[in-house]
Structure 1
Amino acid sequence: MALNLHRAYQLRGYRAWLAVGRKTSDNPSVLLIPNDDYRNLWVKTWFRVRDFVAAWEFGPSTKTLYRLFHQIGRLGEPSRLLDRWRGREDFHFPGTRHLLDTLPQQPNIVHCHNLHGGYFDLQALPWLSRQVPVILTLHDMWLLTGHCAHSFACERWKTGCGNCPDLSIPPVVKRDATAQNWHRKREVYRKSRLHIATPSRWLMDKVKDSMLMEGAVECRVIPNGVDLSVFQPAADRREARASLGLPQEAKILLFTANTIRGNIWKDYAMLRAAVMKVAESLKQRQLLFVALGEEAPPEQTGEARIVFIPFQQDTRVVARYYQAADLYIHAARADTFPNTVLEALACGTPVAATAVGGIPEQVKGLRLTPDTGKPIGPEFNAYTPEEATGILVRQGDAVAMAEAVVTLLKDKELRQRLGENAARDARERFDLNKQVEAYLAWYEELAQARNTGKH
């Protein structure tokens, strides 16, 4: 999302840079935060050896040597190792305070996205927000908690964390220093002046119940958007299937995520169970479940075939999968405002999803009435067929997910209507251009306020 915004600003003629912890391209406007440049001599020496080894292409032995030299280098930062051993979150990134020095000129705005990727010193926020207006866009709950990106049912983050019920939720910590982490973040926010953005009202409600509000100057909900020139309805679904080598006559269900089976935020077990139930209901019909985002052998479960497709870099290829599918199904245990759902809607593909996080703000759930032979849907299924863009079910309910999928697969007219609604709703609410314009207008306000001494 940050990269999408960055590119859009440049296309509009703005000077924009993207500062990252790990650079993988030769794009001159993408700048590496110089953390390693400001570490001690021991660390810098061994990290240079590590990076030299990384240029080799000798297979597994290269990776082993890389990790070895990386660990030897880390011995030069005993306080960092001790923090990690104690369960304290890692803020040892000295290049953060030299961030503005890496830019060709002083920026009008610094817009921060996910800061827990192992590259940014959160303790630099008070300093940074005194130099230039800082917008902080949350994509998960990490800034509100003692370590986790999503708390699931736990609400200890409201009162200070401690006695953490699950240290294995990413970002993982070794020991329970969650209360200390929580209070350390709180002190950072108290000294900062932050303009807070979230893509969903659901996450903004979390922000308003958190210690982050102690550093908030203002808050805005700005929904994510997708590139509608790429993600758009197929002119010919048969052609889309042919281009991907997918069977023409099959009912195709699509799900996409990073490392689908082992992704803690998704619910592959529920999806698999739902697909099996769908196959039982649609006997004598070919059912194909495409799992996009992981490489694995195919599976056959009764009449249903599950195929795994590796992560695709080309967004136009990704759009083809949405265009080729009859339905997009999204089973999540926790989610903020998943772009995959927006991409499906924009491609005119109805969505069956679990109603967690901000997903009910994306999908207009079809209200299932007794006329359809189904029970009236829960509170998040409130739309008529003239408005709905999909069906929402409770988290973990494989039976309800299967019923939703079967309902739409059996009723071609309803499925097509929801698909048309989805594409129209995406144009109205989830155009990347709208997100870009909303942020640019905010930048302009902040820049003007700073010029008049109001920042």
Structure 2
Amino acid sequence: MNILQVSTSDRRGGAEGIALALRDGYARAGHGSWLAAGHPSGDDPTILELSAKRQRVRSAIDRYRGREEFRFPATRTLLDLPPVRPDVVHAHNLHGWYFDLRTLPQLSHETNVVLTMHDSWLLTGHCAHSFACERWQSGCGSCPDLATYPTLARDGTAANWQAKARMYRDARLHVAAPSQWLLSRVSESMLTPLSSRVIPNGVDLATFSPGDKQAARLALGIPLDRPVLLFAAAGILNNPWKDWPTLRDAVAHLAQTGAPGRPTPLLVGLGEEPGLEASDSDVLSLRYLDDPAAVASVYRAADIYVHAAKADTFPTTVLEALACGLPVVATAVGGIPEQVTTEGPDATGVLVPSGDARAMAEALGTLLADDGRRETLAAAAAAAARNRFDIGMTTAAYLSWFEEIQC
């Protein structure tokens, strides 16, 4: 079987990282495997550039009218990019200003097209996450937040929604989502796939696994005697989907209410340039790391992984933390409740309401004060990753589905 994936870029992390891992997994299973990227960064022969060059004049008019940009002519040559014609096109995020969504009907009649959703963009008039807005269910229009990525200059969301609905009516698409939460949104939208599956994302357990905490801290220069909380995200301060203010307030509250004489927690922010809180000795910024082994070492240095989000689908960072044996304290948004088990012998962490700094502080404080509970959650976290979130399982699930689709 020959499989061509499509992704915004070929960087490791998030949706792009999942696409890269699947490319490797498909190849190891003996299949032809390539990745077409709109914004490639390397010279790997299996990474194919899908030119993001746009039709400038028409694109400018579209932007002025509040229309989403689909005028990327190279998309029409997608099936000619690999050395052999693909049996399956497995597409990931198609936003990011590189892909002509209008080609989906033709593509899906020439080969099998599987869309893996990593957010809600395919279902809306422009936004990747709609927060509390439900206009996407009935046609968008009167958008409450045009600044949400991907941004629009004017409100063309109703026309954009209708354009997507027309494309989907003429297309033969198979849709996957990493969480039931996201797939349920598909059933409430204008997208009616030929088939659909929940296939949880996974991580490489050979890289992300429990390890020597002391060695990890020494390598990073982190004190051995302080409790360490870790949060990882791209651009923590300005990431519209994450919730740095809530996390900052939770850590401040935790420091104020901690037991006298006990070391205050150190919050490590992975994915932000140094200076996250330059004057705060309780916060350590670590820039984005491209090496997965180096990222795993940061997880091993922590006691708890904390994930504060306003909107999220199935964050890879939570999976990496579980795989490294970290208890997780996270906000209960999107598909996160499907990642973190909170009750019973298989519990791996604690979920709190979005935006509730006090609840987050209390959950963190309770775990930091109970070494035995943390150790129990840590063991269950590593087991959950082995049983549910191994990238090998994700790869196998897709390949099995692809075989069914071709029959």
TM score, norm. by length of structure 2: 0.93
Partner residue of 1:6? 23
- State the Cα distance separating 1:11 from its structure 2 match: 2.1
Instruction: Summarize deviations over 1:39-59 as a string: whole Å, max 9, x none.
Output: 7xxxxxxxxxxxxxxxxxxxx
Give the superposed CA RMSD: 1.3
Partner residue of 2:254? 278
Partner residue of 1:168? 147
Partner residue of 1:256? 232
Pick from 169, 184, 191: which aligns with 2:163?
184
Counterpart secondary structure, 1:291: strand
Given residue 33 of structure 1, which amino acid in structure 2 is its aligned partner? L
Query: Distance between the aligned counterparts of 1:20 and 1:112, measured in 2?
Result: 10
TM score, norm. by length of structure 1: 0.83
Partner residue of 1:238? 214
Distance change >3 Å, CA 276–CA 35, structure 1 → 2: closer
Pick from 96, 101, 112: which aligns with 1:117?
96
Does residue 229 in structure 1 map to residue 192 in structure 2? no
Q: Kindly indicate whether the alpha-carbon contact (under 8 Å) linking 2:307 and 2:330 is maintained by their aligned counterparts in 1.
A: yes
Higher fraction of helix: 1
Instruction: Kindly indicate whether structure 1 or structure 2 has the higher relative contact order, using CA contacts under 8 Å at least 6 residues apart.
Output: 2
Q: Which runs of 5+ in 2 are unaligned?
A: 1-17
**How many residues get paired?**
388
Distance change >3 Å, CA 395–CA 298, structure 1 → 2: closer
Query: Distance between the aligned counterparts of 1:95 and 1:401, measured in 2?
Result: 47
Query: Distance between the aligned counterparts of 1:406 and 1:104, measured in 2?
Result: 56
Percent identity over paired residues: 52
Does residue 400 in structure 1 map to residue 359 in structure 2? yes
Partner residue of 1:288? 266
- State the Cα distance separating 1:157 from its structure 2 match: 0.2
Q: Kindly indicate whether the alpha-carbon contact (under 8 Å) linking 1:393 and 1:401 is maintained by their aligned counterparts in 2.
A: yes
Pick from 115, 139, 147: which aligns with 1:136?
115
Partner residue of 1:409? 368
Larger radius of gyration: 1
Does residue 325 in structure 1 map to residue 302 in structure 2? yes
Does residue 92 in structure 1 map to residue 71 in structure 2? yes
Partner residue of 2:282? 305
Query: Distance between the aligned counterparts of 1:25 and 1:87, measured in 2?
Result: 33
Query: Distance between the aligned counterparts of 2:267 and 2:399, measured in 1?
Result: 40
Does residue 346 in structure 1 map to residue 329 in structure 2? no
Partner residue of 2:172? 193
Query: Distance between the aligned counterparts of 1:35 and 1:420, measured in 2?
Result: 45
Given residue 433 of structure 1, which amino acid in structure 2 is its aligned partner? G
Partner residue of 2:48? 31
Partner residue of 1:429? 388
Give runs of ≥4 in structure 1 deviating > 6 Å.
none
Query: Distance between the aligned counterparts of 1:298 and 1:342, measured in 2?
Result: 24
Given residue 390 of structure 2, which amino acid in structure 1 is its aligned partner? D
- State the Cα distance separating 1:101 from its structure 2 match: 1.5
Q: Which runs of 5+ in 1 are unaligned?
A: 40-73, 366-382, 450-455
Instruction: Summarize deviations over 1:299-357 as a string: whole Å, max 9, x none.
Output: 3788x611111000111111111111000000000000000000000110000000000
- State the Cα distance separating 1:35 from its structure 2 match: 5.1
Partner residue of 1:62? none
Query: Distance between the aligned counterparts of 2:65 and 2:377, measured in 1?
Result: 51
Instruction: Summarize deviations over 1:262-300 as a string: whole Å, max 9, x none.
Output: 111000000000000111122431321000001132637
Given residue 119 of structure 1, which amino acid in structure 2 is its aligned partner? Y
Given residue 177 of structure 1, which amino acid in structure 2 is its aligned partner? G
Q: Kindly indicate whether the alpha-carbon contact (under 8 Å) linking 2:176 and 2:196 is maintained by their aligned counterparts in 1.
A: yes
Partner residue of 1:334? 311
